[in-house]
Structure 1
Amino acid sequence: MGRWVPGARGRLQLAAMELYAERGFEQTTVAEIATRAGLTERTFFRHFADKREVLFAGQDQLTELVLAALAEAPAELSALDAATAAFAASTELFGERPDGPRARQSIIDAHPELQERELIKLARLGSAIAEGLERRGVAAPAASLAAQSSVAVFRTGFERWTTADDGRSLDACLREALAELKKVASAP
């Protein structure tokens, strides 16, 4: 097989998710993932640092989409609304159906070390959003609070989207979570 196989990254991700579902995350090896994808272990490691990273491969793309949308958000939006709108602009990354994200999340939920990794990645995303809000002129403490709140809105909306079977879009779940946060924050 050639050194750089077109679509290798996607094939590796698909193979990994299939194997994680069939055999379990812990029982799946990098060698098995590469074999299932018709590639070598060396090719796997060109695309991913380890088998855990397959589950978090879209993090950089998510961060780029969110920060780009944040930079383009209307100036009149509050820091929280701008940050949450930036997440809403990234929903295309997840597709219209939650099946893939649902499978990914169930793997993460079953393994504390993957949960920890996800929290670390979300914390980094929150820090990046805070910096983006500061570039919009929001003071540091408020930027941090709005960024972390927008991450909470994203997590809540994403969880609802992946666990519900009512056909709501991720965007609708995000808007619902934001409305609930605002209601909780303004309650006496």
Structure 2
Amino acid sequence: MARWDPNARERLVRAALDLFVRQGYDRTTVAEIAERAGLAKSTFFRHFADKREVLSGGDALARLFAGAVAAAPPGAGPLEAAGAALAAAGEHAFTAERYPTVRERQQVVAANPELTERELLKREALATALADALRERGVPDPAAVLTAALTLLALGAALARWTDRPGLDFAALAREELTALRDTAATL
């Protein structure tokens, strides 16, 4: 395939996941990923700083969350706006078509302590981005921070359920989890 192919990034991600699953994250090199994708090693580094970045997805989910919160109806409360962010994740990031990739990614991350630590840092950054988006809607602290924390807990729980059982609707699971967390928090 041509090096300039516009789907080079996706090919690199797919190749990396295939290799990570087959031979392990630690035993996979950038050169192997590029070769499997049919691209030059330099092309890999035009898209990613290192092989850990292949799994991170950048800040796409944070942008998706922020956009959904901003687009929520003006009268929506903090949890409704956060629910819109989770619904957007279900429409764009956690779809039936992406299920195999997301599941493989979760397995690779869970099998590697370095990646697990990085995933926790990424979730913290996502919570910060969500809290910032809520503040832009006029939600004061600590409500913005608490809503972001509950939303990330709901995201994690929904993602675990979704990756365990194919065919489930991620947005519905996330809505259930967020509602359960809201109800539980109300009893504290």
TM-score (norm 2): 0.92
Instruction: State the Cα distance separating 1:53 from its structure 2 match.
Output: 0.9
Matches within 5 A, 1:132-143: 132-143=133-144
The match for 2:13 is 13
Instruction: State the Cα distance separating 1:75 from its structure 2 match.
Output: 2.6
Looking at structure 2, the residues matched to 172 and 88 of structure 1 have their Cα atoms a distance apart, in angstroms, of 8
Conserved 8 A contact 1:84-1:153: no
Q: Which structure is higher in RCO with an 8 Å CA cutoff and minimum separation 6?
A: 2
The match for 2:87 is 88
Conserved 8 A contact 2:150-2:178: no
Looking at structure 1, the residues matched to 146 and 110 of structure 2 have their Cα atoms a distance apart, in angstroms, of 26
The match for 2:72 is 73
Conserved 8 A contact 2:86-2:175: no
Looking at structure 2, the residues matched to 144 and 163 of structure 1 have their Cα atoms a distance apart, in angstroms, of 29
Number of aligned positions between the proteins:
186
Structure 2, unaligned stretches of length 5 or more?
A: none
One-letter amino acid of the structure 1 residue matched with residue 67 of structure 2: A
Give the SS at the match of 1:140.
coil
Change in CA separation of 1:140 and 1:183 when aligned onto 2, cut-off 3 Å:
closer
Instruction: State the Cα distance separating 1:144 from its structure 2 match.
Output: 0.9
The match for 2:37 is 37
Give the SS at the match of 1:94.
coil
Looking at structure 2, the residues matched to 6 and 77 of structure 1 have their Cα atoms a distance apart, in angstroms, of 39
Looking at structure 1, the residues matched to 50 and 145 of structure 2 have their Cα atoms a distance apart, in angstroms, of 31
Following superposition, which runs of at least 4 residues in structure 1 exceed 4 angstroms of deviation?
none
Looking at structure 2, the residues matched to 15 and 182 of structure 1 have their Cα atoms a distance apart, in angstroms, of 40
Q: What percent identity do the matched residue pairs reach?
A: 46
